[in-house]
Chains A and B, each alone.
Chain A
């Protein structure tokens, strides 16, 4: 069987309402040398029926269901495993969300980036957040890449400071690089960990146009992520703060297991792990401050205003 250039894994879980539109936007890609593998993590809604109605009209799409619920990490890994088993020679791999929309030229543009830049391991586009009803949220157009940065260390530092892992993870990966980076490790914030690790292998390239429309539901929280990542069985290490567990895991991989060799020696691995710990700690606390500013500060200012205006009224009444 001929191997496609791109395989796309679509992890499914209870998004039947939007799944039809998502599949349409994937199956109408202008880049057609690709296969789509939908892996259902035991959805309780109509996901299966929706996918099967599209499987009937386009043989590039296939469906399979896990025998038990694996959680997000397990299901994402399963998507990659199935893709590798069926199409071991496919050059590129991407995960596609089961509730987002893709521009028809999304794959064409991303494949073009990786084809034209052999030094790149990941290509992604700008995106627009949309609400459940499809209304845009914000202006979109977030920008970050490491194109042209040849120094591995500089690339790693830039990535750890500026990455937006939750968005970049839906980009198009060079399959071999993804495999070397451990795919999607069983750890809290696995996307962040993967993007950091894969940055050691090559550049990231971004297409500035909006080729991906990301449907947002609810607000991110680590508690919610713990539940969805690991399914019913949460491992004990999921309780360790990510800014401690991730550098530790990176050190383990690079220094002890030597997974970065020959490009990254064990000694350099130690420095990368240390650097990652330093940046993660600062980012963690900076995020805490930003969250406070965003969610709580306006409330406190309002209360202070009310307090002082009430006091001035009381004073006026007293006079």
Chain B
């Protein structure tokens, strides 16, 4: 008996889907995912053997991590559209960037224009279309809130003279990002500063996003994952590595001979004071000249944290760098755009952005402690021996 046309069509569809899935299963992205997953599972096993540390996920984060447990056994179709699933980390959904949202698109384009005036095209890296990249199409490129957030961060780093040194091709630098989410900023940073080893320290589960994404977007890069006993060896040869993934619970074992910049975006604010302090002190101990932070002083619901900037100030001299008059998730409005006499006539105070771009510069210490006011203790060799100047 012959198939009816409808039944034939349905089979064709099923076959096409199966064919596509089979192709995706063999794709580079999925193979990268499988490789990353193996590393993540090993990291989780190693973590389980470790004693309780202050850096274990809080209740809030345990809940968040459970939400994307399915990523431990993801289908090739999910990996093909990995960026669509990164809303677990970043909160951005594809739905919000559909083509019928013209008014929002205009606001985003306006914000982009203002940022380009500040930072130029040199630092602008649009969202790639690969792996389900999404956003509003502006001048032929994709842009979303995250793209602009990262661009804003790069502008702040440029203005505060942190970036120029890292862009020099002469000597290799090490950048350490604490909590890299889906790897979007690492992608932008590595695109504009190619001679950099980018170390990501995060919950292992999040490497399913960032590891897979970065491995796929930089196929030529050398990507390494922490494994039992391997960290010392990997850190010994960090200059040959492009991306290195280290679980956050292994912070104590992290001791490269050089760190040129430590970065945290929007996760210090979710941590406890002890956790933030542990990272800040580690960055200081590793002699990182700068610690960059884009955070609120405290998330409104986080009662276990006093103030991000105060904790940073314990070890780094913080400087707040203004970029836009609004926080990164918000769009510019009439009030924030008003200038000069017009702004004064409005007489309304423009509220300051609650997310602050802070660049902390390494503070001096005396015997491991912050010094002001302290005298009579042995002097570390910061410059010349005491008394030279009065000779």
- Residues of A participating in the B interface, judged by any CB pair closer than 8 Å: 1, 20-21, 24-25, 27-28, 30, 32, 35, 37, 49-50, 52-62, 86, 101, 103-105, 109, 128, 130, 134-136, 138-141, 209-211, 213, 293-294, 297-298, 301-302
Contacts and interface: CB of A to CB of B under 8 A. Distances in A.
Nearest to A30: B289
A60 B321 CA distance: 30
User: B318, B372, B383, B388 — which one has the most chain A CB atoms within 10 A of its CB?
Assistant: B383
A30 B390 CA distance: 23
Interface in B362-390: 362-364, 366, 371-376, 379-380, 382-390
B341 interface: yes
Nearest to A36: B389
Contacts of A25: 317, 361
A59 B344 contact: no
Interface in B284-332: 289, 317-322
Main secondary structure of the interface of B (DSSP, over half): loop
Contact of A24 (B317, B344, B391): B317
Contacts of B390: 62
A297 B319 contact: no
A60 B161 contact: no
B362 A1 contact: no
B159 interface: yes
B5 to A, nearest CB: 66
B27 interface: no
Nearest to B382: A58
B388 to A, nearest CB: 4
Contacts of B347: 298, 302
Interface of B: 158-161, 164-165, 289, 317-322, 341, 344-345, 347, 352, 361-364, 366, 371-376, 379-380, 382-391
A210 B371 contact: no
B378 to A, nearest CB: 9
Given A49-B373, A101-B317, A294 B161 contact: no
Contacts of A32: 383
B117 to A, nearest CB: 11
Contact of A21 (B165, B317, B387, B391): B317
A56 B158 contact: no
A110 B263 CA distance: 27
B364 A298 contact: no
B192 to A, nearest CB: 16
B364 A135 contact: no
Contacts of A56: 375-376, 379, 386
18 contacts: A1-B391, A24-B317, A28-B362, A28-B382, A32-B383, A57-B364, A57-B371, A57-B380, A58-B382, A59-B384, A61-B389, A62-B390, A130-B320, A134-B320, A136-B321, A140-B159, A210-B319, A298-B347
Nearest to B156: A210
A27 B160 contact: no
Contact of B388 (A59, A103, A210, A301): A59
Contacts of B160: 103, 209-210
User: B160, B352, B362 — which one has the most chain A CB atoms within 10 A of its CB?
Assistant: B160
Given A24-B364, A56-B376, A210-B160, A105 B391 contact: no
A151 to B, nearest CB: 30
Given A50-B373, A57-B386, A298-B347, A138 B317 contact: no
A135 B164 CA distance: 24
Contact of B159 (A58, A109, A141): A141
Nearest to B385: A59
B320 A58 contact: no
Contact of A53 (B289, B318, B374, B382): B374
A255 B112 CA distance: 55
B389 A140 contact: no
Contact of B361 (A55, A103, A135, A139): A103
A25 to B, nearest CB: 6
Contact of B319 (A53, A101, A298): A101
Given A134-B318, A134-B320, A57 B388 contact: no
Nearest to B387: A59
B159 A209 contact: yes
A20 B320 contact: no
Given A24-B364, A298-B347, A135 B352 contact: yes
Given A28-B364, A104-B361, A298-B345, 8 more contacts: A20-B371, A20-B373, A101-B317, A101-B319, A104-B362, A138-B322, A297-B341, A298-B347
Contacts of A1: 391
Given A53-B371, A60-B389, A128 B165 contact: no
A134 B363 CA distance: 16
B319 A58 contact: no
A109 B289 CA distance: 16
Contacts of B159: 140-141, 209-210
Contacts of A60: 383-384, 388-389
B356 to A, nearest CB: 9
B363 A28 contact: yes
Given A53-B375, A301-B345, A211 B161 contact: yes
Nearest to A61: B389
Contacts of A86: 389
Nearest to B384: A59
Contacts of A35: 389
Contacts of A54: 371
A35 B361 CA distance: 21
